[in-house]
Amino acid sequence: MVGKRAGSGTKTLEAKLVEHLTFQARRARREDLGTITRTCLVEAARMLEARLVPVTTQPAAITGSAARWAREGIALETVLDAYHDGVRIGLEFLTEQAAGEDADAVAAAAGLIVRVLETVTTATLTAYLDEHRQVAREQQTAAQTLVSALLSGHGVAHLARRAGISVAASYQVVALAIPAHPDERRPGMGAPSAARRKLRRVQAALATPLGSRALSLLSDEGGTVLVPIDEISAVTSLALTPEVLELIGEAAEVPLTAVVTFGDTGRIPELAGLAQELLARLQADGRPPGLYRLADLPDCDGLQQARRPVVTSPNDHRITRSA
């Protein structure tokens, strides 16, 4: 550590700093965010004091508190501001004490407070990211389970309640084909990794134009997307349009093909099956990428008649609801 150590009977400026931070933590209101962050600063300072090498482990008090705050929805910037307030208290104390100390002692204490700030910031950011990733995984699993139920037509209401996702009365049903990215075909480029990256780009690109209630069940080759129709309004159009498909394709870095139709929620299994069947037929026929519309399906004549859909050109930007 920078600086000279005083004799055993004399407290170093670093030790005085830790004592001051401890005193300030005890003065703060109990269970207040500021109290907890100042207590965490003290723990980090005690852990780092008198160490010449960086500490690789993160204090459990910091990571545990940060994870709890993340679950409770407390903004990360609020937590970091509280830590910075505590660090400012330490710096003010060092300024007051500097006149009676030599330069090495002040440098050592200042170095300690910098390392403390680095430790609490890194630990808090890591805990927040870990917690948000866990929540995102849970939400994704719940959404995928719900879309599977919608596609099968069974257990929808129960799963929707468990997932906390409301089910719309009708949906835009989209069969989506995602071709292989050029990186997936290059030898030695890691095709599985390239496919996963492509899929993540598609999933991220879907979120903004289609809204948070849009559901998807996708692999790196494609799948089904369900967009609630009751989210569509004159102000905000939440639907898969040719323009939206083009944006998603740009994110995926490959041209996409989609077959789209509309229908009541109870008809999702039928509509999804027909859309996927037509999508496979279009690909087999070598049709160009783009958005294709499945014509309105009759409700009373069964699947035999419904298997003769009308497909619009990918350049047709007009999408209408089915009956």
Mean pLDDT for the stretch of residues 66-73: 85
Q: Over pLDDT 70: what percentage of the chain? A: 77
State CA 274 to chain mean position distance.
Answer: 32
Examine the pLDDT at 117 and tell me if it is beyond 50.
Answer: yes
Strand order in the sheet with 290-293: 215-219, 222-228, 170-177, 257-264, 290-293
- Closest by Cα among 246, 198, 237, 190 to 218: 198
Quote the CA–CA distance of 72 and 56 in Å, as a whole number: 27
Query: Phi, psi at residue 215, to the nearest 5°?
Result: -115, 140
pLDDT > 90? residue 140 = no
Instruction: Calculate what percentage of the chain has a pLDDT beyond 90.
Output: 19
Q: What is the pLDDT of residues 278-320, one digit of tens each?
A: 999 999 989 999 999 876 434 433 333 333 333 333 333 333 3
CATH class of 168-306: alpha beta
For β-strands 290-293 and 222-228, DSSP reports them as: unpaired
Query: Bridge-partner residues for 261, per DSSP?
Result: 173
| pLDDT value at 31 more than 60 | no
Residue 212: what pLDDT?
Answer: 72
Is residue 156 over pLDDT 60? yes
> Bigger pLDDT: 189 or 173?
173
Highest mean pLDDT, choosing among 8-17, 37-46, 272-281: 272-281
| Cα–Cα distance, 204 to 140 (Å, whole number) | 12
Instruction: Please tell me the pTM assigned to this model.
Output: 0.57
Q: Residues 140, 143, 145, CA angle at the centre, nearest 5°?
A: 110
Confirm if 62 and 44 have CB atoms less than 8 A apart. yes
